[in-house]
Amino acid sequence: MHSLRVFLIGCVAIAMSGCAGYQLGPSNGQTAGEKTVQVTPFTNHTPEPRLGDAVTGQLRKQLQRDGTYRLATHDAGDIVVTGVLSRYYRHELSFVPNDVTTVRDYRVQLTAQVTARERSTGKLLLDQPVTGYTLIRVGSDLTSTERQALPLLAEDLARQITALLVDGSW
């Protein structure tokens, strides 16, 4: 019976040591929800329509999901995030077997110049290009395939932006 107790205590100690480096809450040292973020609609300078709205909506969702900042929906936020979608690019990944001219898979990337400023001081917190990616398999129609992949592309870009905002060193 004594050896069973020692074994169980040892198992609990090992299990608890695995969580020793885990930190509950935001990773940047702030209290969750301490500051608010206002996301202004992204400007779209690419030839693809509807990207600005998709990225803006996904960024708002990602920030809410993360919980480090509260999303400012009615009032001005402590941090104002703006962005310009500057580049939409398709890169061929694979071709149809026995036909080296017909593309089967593309890697689609979207780049945005993202800026975040403190509203009260005007201090620039973030100003850099951020890129999101997704893969698409071309069916019978490339245009409709890209349209269906647009939410995935916007979500990946929003995830990249959120990570930079949350883990920023300011």
pLDDT higher than 90, residue 169: no
pLDDT tens by residue, 123-133: 999 999 999 99
CATH 3.30.160.150 fits 30-166, yes or no: yes
Mean local confidence (pLDDT), 140-146: 87
The mean-pLDDT minimum among 28-32, 77-81, 122-126, 139-143 falls in 28-32
pLDDT tens by residue, 21-77: 444 444 445 555 689 999 999 999 999 988 999 999 999 999 999 999 999 887 788
Enter the pTM of the model. Answer: 0.79
pLDDT tens by residue, 89-116: 999 999 989 888 889 999 999 999 999 9
**Distant-in-sequence, close-in-space partners of 56: CB < 8 Å, separation ≥ 6:** 39, 40, 41, 42, 83
Residue 110, class by beta-carbon neighbours within 10 Å (0-12 exposed, 13-18 middle, 19+ buried)? buried
Look at 170 and 136; give whichever has higher pLDDT: 136
Domain-by-domain residue ranges, the chain? 30-166
Mark residue 25 as left, alpha or beta (left: phi above 0; alpha: psi -120 to 50; beta: remaining). Answer: left
pLDDT higher than 80, residue 17: no
Between CA 49 and CA 52 the distance in angstroms is 8
For tokens 């996904």, name the residue: 58
pLDDT higher than 90, residue 19: no
The answer to whether the beta carbons of residues 105 and 74 sit under 8 Å apart is no
